[in-house]
Chain A
């Protein structure tokens, strides 16, 4: 069991969860992820490590409630536990010093995943611009945290309720036109990453996408996370999760991510049809488990 130290909502359906996992915290580098199980019979899901604190022995995860498992996870509070946390998995981001500006493009909860990469780029002495998008103002994440690391932030909303109105790609196109761009990191929904790659492709700007395919073990054992990069099959869990965005077959990734859509929709709606008491029954094994552990 992995105790949850902090849990808070940072946007509708997005939670920030700090978990005690000292060994993972010690090893984590930007770009890596963990496999999490929320309940004793639960599925294994990959989540990017947003931050780690080796001294406190904790890692920070952001979770968006989009399916059964992430919904249940979002209902957890400090003092509860995660059943399993395994990692850190995947290759770390390659953080270099660039001549031009380093741009990080995050969409929705992707911003949370882009956050440690943006910080690492800034720490390396790069000038960093973060273009962060959300449907509306409340979905624009971590703006202040990014600014605190001397990162320039261009918030974008679909409806113009905050920052720039329109897609992150439009803002990116302007940056690319105005500045010498050294590198672009993009993390978020597949269509967004694909569009970002299209923006930077003509000018051949180095562009890195962090992919989010379906996974089971996360250690290269199952091959469920197969992605196509430059015409070759790669396992995102061990060869990635970051790849050259100009070489990624995003269409294939988008399709493969729909493999279990019917199942996932059914799982979520059956969970949503349950009342609070049932939810609590499902979470009973982990609810307050870390406090119980401390007492025993």
Chain B
């Protein structure tokens, strides 16, 4: 039976089943439950099979979305996974954390008059089904190339780069500063949004490919970049260390007890397990407490929803623009509201208030209004003269973004930085200013997304392959030409 486009368009989008807001806000279980096979099939059948699928252009790594969805509709999940695997290495993760509304789903033709295909949910469904039933393709034996590559940082950029390079037959060793691999996927994104078992299974998969992991290795301190290329004998290095230096508000009271960076708060909970009853890593007791989170991105949403799960009485998100300008995923904001997070839009912190013993007691906020658009194209918030008010708060979490961590570039003079502190790279190859050293992810772009980091890791992997094969370092040639005045 052939169903017409018109009839297909009448079908409603299948919404992702989620745990009850009250039940989930008291635990760290994953909020989204996942589609059933029936739901996935019906949702996949809604796809109109556009002649020129705009969704693919919307995807930062150009997954052949129409093709994988077609296979889901036919019940060929293994086939769907094969299609995704051509372009993406971390579908279980990206299906959960990509900002689909700004990427593939935002580009879906159904988005204009109807609701777009739930591409992210389908991607997750495919990846989870494959993992649950152990349907991953067997590890193919590749001839060792005799070359070796060091990967600095085990976040999404490093993992993706490592996977591609291992499949090319190179010996790959991932160096991680912390005691567990996964980077932001482990210390940053909470369990209720991205279960750590999923990240672990990706890492286990890499180990099966022969990728080695070395923990507690702070490149620049434990081993220098130079040593990786000389004494340690690596033929190339990929730097994917992320943007790991928390920004603060630079206002009075920021060092009061009770003021956390989102990085510190989330690391204590996610990496160190401070949400377990028998935790050995402390976190301030949030039972019955009031929490104010500054910021409007996904990290701010994570920083708001986590305290609820630790017993906070009230959590407010204070953002200086309006909901429309919030960079967070729509689903996270929706989930946060369902769970009872209160949003204060158009407010900016002036001061953090404390008692005589140095503990936080409240925040002083300035009301804002939207003015003319700024460089980012968003309307700039401007203060409303005299409209200042205070809120009681026991804990403040500052989630206004991260700058690149200067530790590595500061110890390696050959790595040139931009004025924003990111590493200077040739975008199409990931080549840095130091021969043999490539980079990608947040360390080159500033704080961005998992999928972009993964994409950059793969671009660099392709470029590393080329470099290892030819031995030609283009940038070097270019610079020589420049210095020769050509």
Contacts and interface: CB of A to CB of B under 8 A. Distances in A.
Is this pair of chains taken from one and the same complex?
Answer: yes
Contact of A43 (B178, B257, B281): B281
Contacts of B250: 233
Contacts of A68: 280
Given A220-B245, A223-B248, A233-B248, A69 B254 contact: no
Given A228-B255, A256-B257, A87 B280 contact: no
A84 B217 CA distance: 10
A219 B405 CA distance: 8
Interface string B220-263: 01110000000000000000000011101010001101001101
Contact of B357 (A219, A223, A255): A255
A267 interface: yes
Nearest to B246: A223
Interface stretch (A112-120, A156-164, A257-265): A257-265
Contacts of A258: 257
A85 B216 contact: yes
Contact of A87 (B187, B221, B244, B285): B221
B268 interface: yes
A125 B248 CA distance: 43
A23 interface: yes
A44 B272 contact: yes
B263 A223 contact: yes
Nearest to A34: B216
A89 B244 contact: no
Interface string A252-295: 10011011101110010000000000000000000000000000
Interface string B261-283: 10110011000110000101110
B177 A233 contact: no
Contacts of A216: 264, 267-268, 272, 281
Given A221-B405, A223-B263, A23 B223 contact: yes
B174 to A, nearest CB: 15
A263 B221 contact: no
Contacts of A220: 244-245, 405-407
Majority DSSP secondary structure for residues of B touching A: loop
Contact of B221 (A39, A43, A69, A89): A89
B282 A263 contact: yes
A173 interface: no
B33 to A, nearest CB: 29
B275 to A, nearest CB: 13
Interface in A203-262: 216-217, 219-224, 226, 228, 233, 238, 252, 255-256, 258-260, 262
A86 B280 contact: no
Q: How many interface residues does chain B have, given as a range?
A: 35 or more
B282 A260 contact: yes
Given A37-B179, A42-B280, A219 B255 contact: no
B255 A83 contact: no
Interface string A93-106: 00000000000000
Interface string B352-368: 00000110000000000
A43 B254 contact: no
Contacts of A88: 221-222
Contacts of B244: 219-221
Contacts of B260: 224
B388 interface: no
Given A238-B407, A259-B284, A267-B280, A86 B257 contact: no
Given A223-B264, A228-B255, A43 B272 contact: yes
Nearest to A263: B282
A41 interface: yes
A42 B268 CA distance: 12
Given A43-B272, A88-B221, A219 B407 contact: yes
Contacts of B261: 222-224
A149 interface: no
Interface string B390-426: 0000000000000001110000000000000000000
A55 B222 CA distance: 16
A27 interface: yes
A24 interface: yes
A256 B216 contact: no
Interface residues of A, number: 40
Contacts, number: 108
Contacts of A217: 177-178, 267
B221 A27 contact: yes
A24 B222 CA distance: 6
A292 B267 CA distance: 32
B179 A44 contact: yes
Contacts of A256: 255, 257, 358
A68 B257 CA distance: 22
A221 B358 CA distance: 23
A273 to B, nearest CB: 14
Contacts of B406: 220, 238
A281 to B, nearest CB: 13
A252 B255 contact: yes
A249 B189 CA distance: 34
Contacts of A252: 255, 358
Nearest to A238: B407
B46 to A, nearest CB: 43
A264 B279 CA distance: 11
Interface in B209-224: 215-218, 221-223
Given A44-B179, A223-B263, A89 B216 contact: no
Nearest to A219: B177
A86 B179 contact: yes
A38 to B, nearest CB: 9
Contacts of B407: 219-220, 238
A41 B254 CA distance: 30
A6 B148 CA distance: 36
Contacts of B246: 221-223
Given A223-B261, A224-B264, A83 B282 contact: no
Nearest to B278: A41
A216 B263 CA distance: 10
B264 A222 contact: yes
B216 A84 contact: yes
A174 B246 CA distance: 44
Contacts of B281: 43-44, 216
A220 B246 CA distance: 8
Given A43-B272, A221-B267, 16 more contacts: A39-B280, A41-B273, A42-B280, A43-B282, A44-B281, A84-B179, A84-B215, A84-B216, A216-B268, A219-B244, A222-B267, A238-B407, A255-B358, A263-B282, A263-B285, A267-B282
19 contacts: A27-B221, A41-B278, A42-B280, A44-B179, A69-B280, A86-B179, A86-B215, A86-B218, A88-B222, A89-B221, A216-B264, A220-B405, A221-B244, A221-B246, A221-B263, A221-B267, A223-B263, A223-B264, A262-B285
